[in-house]
A = this chain, B = another copy of it.
Amino acid sequence: MNILLASTSTLYGGNYLEYIKTEIEQLFQGIDEILFIPFARPGGISHEDYTAKAAEFFAQLNIKVRGLHEFAEKAEAINQAKGYFTGGGNTFLLVKTLHEENLMHFLKDNVESGKPYLGSSAGSNIGGINMKTTNDMPIVYPPSFSCMGLVPFNINPHYLDPSPDLKHNGETRETRILEFLTQNDLKVVGLREGNWIRRIGDRITTEGTEQTRIFEQGREPYEVEPGSTP
């Protein structure tokens, strides 16, 4: 496999996918067109507008972008594509659409056959075993929370350390993930912004500027350095 699952598309003060441009170039080396999966629709923007945003970035790399929504035969479009990018937004909306249109397993099969896959945020969540560690609001009801399992764990994108200054009684991110572990025996990779997961063949590493926080049942949460296998 050849995949890159990023915590976020955009760093604070930066431009869309800018911080990870070199890695994206390497991921899609030799490929002149990719299929964009716009279903997460951040802020409810249209599939067209979201695809245009992705296309604008990829134009810099001389890679053409087609949106999956443009195709009447979507499974066929997935099978014909040379590489994939699933953008962020709302994971519930993304997973609902992929399941209802019966597309999740076509995407999985093609990525498992070696075609490059880029995900950011919700697009990275669906690379995990299931979407039960998303941060998103459940604005729609998906027929299942299952995802592609391109890596043998779950991902929490935009992982955020507790703020000691916040006088607010909502749960911290760590509390939420520990709650997940009371109900599921599955490793969770807390991916801070600026970090990503890279899989090349069987080798899986966490990359980027930050340490990555790992959560497992029966063990204190721990940090791994960039370049480690989580």
Binds B, one of A79-87, A163-171, A196-204: A163-171
Give the residue name and chain of the B residue nearest to A8 (CB). Answer: B169
Interface residues on A, range: 35 or more
- A142 CB, nearest partner CB in chain B, Å: 9
Q: Mark A128-140, 1 if CB is under 8 A from B, else 0.
A: 0001111111111
State whether the Cβ of A179 lies closer than 8 Å to any Cβ in chain B: yes
What residues of B have a CB within 8 angstroms of the CB of A41 in the complex?
A: 179, 182
Which chain B residue shows the least CB distance to A181? Answer: B44
B-chain residues with CB within 8 Å of residue A135 when the two chains form the complex: 137, 170-171
Task: Bits for A33-45, please: 1 = Cβ < 8 Å to B, else 0.
Answer: 0000000011110
Q: A90: CB under 8 A from chain B?
A: yes
Chain B residues near A222 (CB, 8 Å)? Answer: none
Q: Is the CB of B137 within 8 A of A176?
A: yes
A175 interface residue per 8 A CB criterion: yes
A228 on the B face (CB < 8 A)? no
Report if A31 contacts B (CB, 8 A): no
- Please classify the interface of chain A as helix (H, G, I), strand (E, B), loop, or mixed, using the class held by over half of its residues: loop
* Copies of this chain present: 2
* A145 to B135 CA separation, bound complex (whole angstroms): 17
Name the residue among A10, A140, A181 with the largest chain B CB count within 10 angstroms: A140
Residues A145 and B137 in contact in the complex (CB < 8 Å), given A44-B178, A168-B158, A179-B90: no
Cβ B139 vs Cβ A10 within 8 A: no
Of the candidates B89, B141, B160, which one forms a contact with A170 in the assembled complex, judged by CB atoms under 8 Å apart? B160
- A209 an interface residue at 8 Å Cβ cutoff? no
Interface centre among A42, A43, A89, A133 (most CB of B within 10 A): A43
Residues of chain A at the chain B interface (Cβ within 8 Å): 8-13, 41-44, 89-90, 92-93, 131-141, 144-145, 158, 160, 167-171, 175-184, 193
- 16 A-B contact pairs sorted by A residue (CB < 8 Å): A12-B169, A43-B182, A44-B178, A133-B139, A134-B138, A135-B137, A136-B176, A137-B176, A137-B180, A138-B138, A139-B179, A139-B182, A139-B183, A139-B184, A160-B168, A160-B170
4 closest Cβ contacts across the A-B interface? A44-B182, A158-B170, A12-B167, A137-B176
